[in-house]
Structure 1
Amino acid sequence: MQRESVPYRPLNKSTSQLHGDLRIVSLESEPPYEALSYTWGSSSESKTMQIDKRHSINITDNLFRALRRMRGHLLSRTLWIDAVCINQDDGSEKSSQVQMMGRIYKSATTVLVWLGEYSHPSPSDPWRMRRPHWKDARNSAGLNDRGRRFAVALNEALRDTEPRWHDRAWIIQEFVLSTETLLCFGPITIAYDKLHLMDLMLRLPQHLEYLDAFFQKTSDMVKLSYGVGELQQSISEACLYTSTASCKDDRDRVYSLLSLIDVKEAAIIGADYTESCPCEITFARATYAALVARNDFSILQLVSFKQLSAYSLPSWVVDFTLQQDPTDGQVHRHVTRPVKWPLDGTDDGSSPLTVSLNMKLLMVTGTAFDSVDEVLSLATARFAQTGASAAKIAEDLIPFLLKLFQKRDSRPVWVKCSESLDDLLKPGVLLMAGSRTQAGSIIKASFTVWHDVASPAAIGRDAAYVPFWRCGSDEKYQRTSDIVGTELGWLMDYAAVSSGGANVFTTSTGLIGLAPSTVEPTDRIVLLKNGKLPALLQAVGEHYLFRGFAWVHNANEEVQEKSQDGMLKADSFVLC
């Protein structure tokens, strides 16, 4: 059974001078036009194009090659091209036009994606490659000659265009918002079809690096498009797809997403290419916009404490130039037991978030319910710890926990140090149901041991009391099911991504928690209004540095008890 070919159209090639007429139109009149999506290329603007038969403008080599392929001999073609239609030297015009980019690409009849040239293209290529499918029913696992030529040519075009189209930040909205997308390379034009491309990838006899990267990036953009429908997507989610992109201006990592995010966030961010709005202010506006529009603090989980920034940013501002992964922003989604705000009806009703005019200071509403006492650094990474690494974690953690137990109560604790390490390292204890990583399992087991031994019901029992690690599997599960949430594995990942490692800490009231390695003794543990996880704040004079989010065992019970006793109040914390 043969597969029908996707729509195609040959592109013309000519070596003569490029000419065009520049027209000013209103999008309200719905003019028919095609929009070009391409990469400027690394070369200088060494080619020229005649505009209105009177002016000559400089364009890059890659744009020159694209336009030479796309023009027709007999009929004119109406295109929208950013380098030609926007005065790149006028910051005010650029700021205004950039805010319209989403409408421009969404209103275009077709978005032409120029991927580059390849070696020795032939005028007959559009016909020779028009049906890149597998051979036939008798040999469906292989590609025919057209399919192989198509894949190799596309891979070659992607390889030789620098930077590559799929590495550019602006292409995300250009691709996601288009109603019809045509891939153009050399003389070939073919409709983008994810399933068709997937078939092609599965049947290639060899791995083609650049074609594979192109497929992965466009697949990610298709996923991103699912959240665009009602424009309810936050920049905290969308920015994960531009962190590895290529930008001439780092502000474009934010501005290129304006058409893909919540309209309230986009309105706060705006677009400003003038000198009065450097990257620091753009990133601060974007962070603040997500905080206000989403009414939560989830964007702050993207603040990195381990990667050096090229910019001088406040501790609460996300650096959108640092590489992130789409899974790096997931921790708040997996918090099954958020710490509840205990002071509703007791504050003055003012906005929990305000920012200074220079976008450097952020005032938040919260309540400090505890402070960090002692800290233990764990030899953890983002992925599972096994063997010697797992043993090292338990070996460091057990004496740290025993010290906490003795501090909480002067009576003896039913733990035999000579046996505890060997017993804790048994698979039945470490590999509990629901664990994401073995490291998370060790932490869970240790927390459970702490809860079991240090709780009032456990302390003071006679020698017949059976410790947690001696219990059968059913009793182990019963003891742990209602006291340990499922977010610990995600907190371990968050700590590793944001700071390079995780620390266990104890608090001044005898609680235990897990946090990024930024945590230090005397840090204040603050529950932010509308937050899900406690935040760590480090005092610097009258202000505070944001040092990440933490998991605190029994935090809900602690804040509710202190609230009922009148020990908590809503305060303002100014983050710098």
Structure 2
Amino acid sequence: MSTATTNESNAGLGPYQYQPLAKGSGDIRLIKIVQVQEARGNDTDVILEIDMFHVPSVKLALISQCPDLQRSRLVGPENTFRALFTIHHSTQKTKTELYQPGEQVMLWIDALCINQVDVAEKNTQVPRMGQIYRQAKGAVGYIGAPEPGRDPGDGFLALAWFGNAPVIKPPEGIPADQSDPRFQEWYRSYQIQQENEPPQDFAEALTSLFANDWFLRCWVIQEMVLSRETVCLYGYGQDARSWSLKTMAMLIERGQSAANHRHDLNKAVKGSKARILELEKAVQVDSWRVLREDLAKKPSGLGIVELLSRTRFGKATDLRDKVYALLGLMNEEDVPVIRVDYSESYTAAQLFRDVAVHCMASLDGPATLVHAGLESSIRGLPTWVPDWSTMYRTPLNTGIYNACANLFRPINVLPGRRKLSALGVKVDIIAHTGIPMTYPDAQLEKHRMNRSTRDGTPDIFGLVLSAAILCERLRERHPAGYPLKHENWPDVVWRTCCVDRNWAGKRVTGNDRLSFHACLKRFGFGEDLFAAVKLDEATGQMPVQSASRSFQDSGLNEAALSFELMVIEFQKGRVLGTTAGGLFGSFPSTTKVGDIVVVLFGGWVPFVLRPVEEDLFELVGAAYVHGIMDGEWVQAAVAADEPDLLRDFVIQ
């Protein structure tokens, strides 16, 4: 028997001694909560008594009793203790898809059931976590708790309104527990009210819910995706509320897809001090739903690059867990090449490079490069190796472009695994850049409110202004229209600002153009975008500067807001710029004048390279270059049959 505490009141007990798991046996440890002792008048003096025992994982459903163990003190993370304490109270009083009130449940918690100081045990147990989640009856996700004094139920009520169901209080006779089948049956028949004011403290309650880092922990992904059923607990101890993850995912999906979602959300948070940035975590829940659906179609697992890119926001104390936490979701080709090694000698940099080398030998090579670049936070990592521990910029949706015109050539990792060689076509050299849209988290909230930041980072008005100024210079050189296609210059501006894609992840349509014109009108650009950015000789100012209106004064135009939020999202970590030959594009924020634009065979998008020395380059990152995203440049280069146009680029 082990005792877990929130303080050192049991300091007299000896530390718990893990008994080694039999090698090659497939055994795991399980936990059963025996009892809880709470000292009256002192919320921090709580003792959990648990039994921990070994069991073959194939017999999880057959365990009915535990052996007697010597009483000792088990030290674990505080959040693990809070989760166990809350689970105990929930199982005593709440009916969910996983347990009945009063039912004794057996738990597997990685923080306790794996001896965290035994490297050899971690190396063998971590790869089996996916199997454990699949065999278990379900998973309990402990989200955390709101600030003192706030009812955890307020967060779920706010989420319900976010899902376009403002009035969620069920009629008398229907339980308020959102995971109860009777509640879900009533909710399915509920007529959603399209026009409704948000509940009181909507923004604060919702952001309080999503402020919990649980939504971003990389180890949560496997639990939520692989488990048959999942119950989420929010709150602490007896005050916690339970919800089915399916209910949460349904509301978030509905909220994201609702036509008036963004308008309603901004109306609700206007003037609020709540951190709207936290709402981005809601997207993670929806991503788990999509992963479950994708795995149902591909039960053998998904590709490693796809998984890492889709879970990049996940956070881990040990950066190697960014990869290891996805083993249960990977396909059979990728899992065997992943070296699970928690020894100090095998670093995250080595793991990330090993993953990149493996991917370069497959069709995923160029797709891997899309997530790499100069901004790595890991010292010594080659620029072609993605640093999965951070987010450089909003990634381009490679599935909608075809810059390489379907021409594929293998990428060769050179001896020493520090450099690679890729065949491609040089497009042009960077001639001018605008003001970069930085990506640090500290700036995102300011971007959300469309306000200029103190470091000069542009808001949507500044971004469109920068685009118009850059294109006005090109327009003077190419009055007949944009190079290659002779496209109208205003179309070049708006399509490049949103990298020619919309919220649905597809290429833009006429409706998206209407939202761009609404944006121009809202900020005083008028009908002629380029006339608005020409300097007035008398005043020395641009007409648009005096005509523009601030975000707060302009009101909420739904069409304009759609374009603004879309551009701000897609341009994070990027900078607009032009090439010497007159092309306009969106490049990584670290792009400099003199960098070159190339298209690699097999790469669906162009890349920016920085010359280091003769025939040697660094990868700056992936780019959107208007007019060449469908293979136009590559097709012209191949048709010209000029040897100088095709070359191997060596990247370090």
- How would you bin the TM-score normalised by the shorter chain? 0.5 to 0.7
Distance 2:144 2:247 in 1: 22
Greater Cα offset, 75-84 or 87-96:
75-84
Partner Cα distance (2:83, 2:498) in 1: 52
For 1:519 and 1:178, the matched residues in 2 are separated by 43
Alignment of 1:546 onto 2:604: no
> Structure 2: how far apart are the matches of 1:253 and 1:193?
23
Following superposition of structure 1 onto structure 2, how do residues 135-534 of structure 1 map, counting pairs within 5 Å?
141=167, 143=169, 147=176, 159=208, 164-185=213-234, 186-187=237-238, 188=240, 190=242, 192-195=244-247, 215-229=282-296, 230=298, 231-240=300-309, 242-305=311-374, 307=375, 309-323=377-391, 328-336=394-402, 338-341=404-407, 352-354=411-413, 356=415, 359-361=417-419, 363-367=420-424, 369-370=425-426, 372-373=428-429, 375-378=431-434, 388-399=465-476, 401=477, 429-432=488-491, 436=495, 496-498=571-573, 500-506=574-580, 512=583, 514=585, 516=587, 526-534=598-606
Gapped regions of structure 1 (runs ≥ 5): 1-10, 35-49, 345-350, 403-414, 442-468, 470-491
Change in Cα spacing, 1:259 to 1:391, as seen in structure 2 (3 Å) is: same
Aligned mate of 1:90, from 118, 136, 145: 118
Change (3 A) 1:536 1:106: same
Matches within 5 A, 1:100-119: 100-116=128-144
Q: For 1:26, which of 53, 56, 64 is the aligned residue?
A: 56
Deviation, 1:285, is 2.6
C-alpha separation between the residues in 2 aligned to 1:22 and 1:336?
A: 55
Q: What is the deviation of 1:265?
A: 2.9
**Amino acid corresponding to residue 233 of structure 2 in structure 1:** C
Q: Distance in 2 between matches of 1:119 and 1:522?
A: 51
Given that 2:225 and 2:289 are in contact with CA atoms closer than 8 Å, whether structure 1 keeps it comes out as yes
Matched, 1:52 2:69: yes
Residue matched to 1:454: none
How far did residue 315 of structure 1 move? 0.9
Given the superposition, is the C-alpha separation of residues 332 and 76 from structure 1 closer, same or farther in structure 2, using an over 3 Å criterion? closer
Retained in 2: the 8 A contact 1:528–1:534? yes
Judging changes above 3 Å, is the alpha-carbon distance between structure 1 residues 548 and 108 closer, same or farther for their aligned structure 2 residues? same
Q: Is the 8 A contact 1:244 1:324 kept in 2?
A: no
1:338 is paired with a residue whose SS is: coil
Question: Any idea what the Cα deviations from partners look like across 1:473-524, whole Å, max 9, x if unmatched?
Answer: xxxxxxxxxxxxxxxxxxx9999445x31322236xxx85646265567756
Over the residues paired in the alignment, what is the CA RMSD in angstroms? 5.3
| Residues 1:77 and 2:105 aligned together | yes
Q: Is the 8 A contact 1:169 1:245 kept in 2?
A: yes
SS in structure 2 opposite 1:23?
strand
| TM-score, structure 2 normalization | 0.56
> What CA distance in whole angstroms lies between the structure 2 residues aligned with 1:197 and 1:372?
45
Please list every run of 5 or more consecutive structure 2 residues that lacks an aligned counterpart in the other structure: 1-33, 39-45, 93-101, 180-198, 256-263, 438-458, 501-529, 531-566
- Does the aligned pair in 1 maintain the 2:320–2:351 contact within 8 Å? yes
Check 1:51–1:227 CA distance in 2 against 1; reply closer, same or farther (3 A cut): farther
In structure 2, do the counterparts of structure 1 residues 532 and 68 end up closer, same or farther at CA, with 3 Å as the change threshold? closer
- Please, what TM-score do these two structures have when normalized by structure 1? 0.62
Say yes or no: does 1:65 pair with 2:82: yes
**Range 210-219 or range 172-181, more displaced:** 210-219
- Give the partner amino acid of 1:540: V
Amino acid of the structure 2 residue aligned with 1:365: A
How many angstroms does 1:32 deviate by?
5.4
Identity rate, percent = 21
* C-alpha separation in 1, matches of 2:159 and 2:319: 41
Report how many aligned residue pairs link the two structures: 453
Distance, in Å, in 1 between the alignment partners of 2:73 and 2:499 is 63
Q: Partner of 2:54: helix, strand, or coil?
A: coil
For 2:213 and 2:63, how far apart are their aligned partners in 1?
25
C-alpha distance in 1 between matches for 2:86 and 2:597: 61
Residues 448-468 of structure 1, C-alpha deviation per residue, up to 9 Å, x if partnerless?
A: xxxxxxxxxxxxxxxxxxxxx
Asked whether 1:556 is paired with 2:634, we answer yes
Give 1:232 shift: 4.9
- Asked if 1 retains the 8 angstrom alpha-carbon contact of 2:464 and 2:497, the reply is no
Distance 1:522 1:27, change over 3 A: same
> Cα deviations across residues 241-299 of structure 1 (Å, max 9, x unaligned)?
54434422122222212222333233333322111221211222333344444434123
Aligned residue for 2:579, secondary structure, equals strand
Distance across 2 between alignment mates of 1:51 and 1:82:
22
Question: How far off its partner does 1:377 sit?
Answer: 2.2
- Are the equivalent residues in 1 in contact too, given 2:36–2:47 (CA < 8 A)? no
Q: CA deviation at 1:178?
A: 0.8
Shift of 1:301: 1.9
Evaluate the alpha carbon distance shift between residue 177 and residue 397 of structure 1 in structure 2; reply closer, same or farther with a 3 A threshold. same
- Which of these two proteins has the greater Rg computed from alpha carbons? 1
1:392 partner amino acid:
I
